[in-house]
Chains A and B, each alone.
Chain A
């Protein structure tokens, strides 16, 4: 039976903080800040389009780092602890959230004031990308056996970031500049996307009641199932 979350999670904070992939997040954050500083570095040549593009790239860079947040080399041993997975994931998230907020504020401030896109809109976009990364990681753990899904999730996130602008229908107008009249409507869609991904993430954060696998359906004896460590 799961024990009450309070005192146990307080005990967990310190070891969890040690196991978080801080180096990854630091590397991604540093590159993200560098990308966000592009308009400032470009000087005269910068425009609003460059500013919003570099902020988007910066958000993707940070999210790539955050995709490794749920990586836990010791997952196969921690899976058996009485603390629920929601609590463990939630604690990791809670430890990273202030860092992410601080980092994003810094990235926004790096963009010159006159070029800065509306903060609310671009923050929704960044949050959606970050949540997509975390949901991807949670989903990989929910469905798979891997202890460290970060790399695959980062690949998925990168593919989405490259293919999204190329393949998303033009009428959705997700990747518009602030002077576009569709900016507000586009950010309603971003908010919707954020909520949908959040909901999916919340579902994936829980421990699966049973593993639904096609292979097992085909082979009830389970002999064709790969043995788990």
Chain B
């Protein structure tokens, strides 16, 4: 009887170990990141722009290559504190950037002052960041200038700063010449592969758009998990 009990305990332990292993391996297993998109606000894009500095718009039905992230990655930015170079936005407020509302209509976006501005999200703890999705303004086809996205460990972005996106091709922002391309804003926003970089803060720069000198943000989503 005791032997029977011992065997059952052993079997149970084996199953439990197997389950932990499976769970761990699943956590390491990568899946395609799914981003929930808002409703499109306009149809079509500006005509025939083919400069090498501008990313070609997607054809109808065409999708960008998926970003592979661990299965346990979540949105770690939702409801987190947002600060910025323009502490008193012209329209809206900082909270709108992380409130989960990605619609392009009035009342969903925050408008910051003219010229180069930045916004910064404090994730509250150091995280492994796998992707950053950003929607500037998608009620009209426009291109935001000098977009630079950085991940940092301190709020002042002095040490361990890493740029995960930079399309400032002439270094007008003074953060280095970027190799990424500019793109036309749509409801798809822009999902940036952050490749699991560690950091507590995410900072996004922009310098107006083809429509004017103001800077806009509808939503920023940071996909990651607490750093182990």
Q: Do A and B come from one complex?
A: no
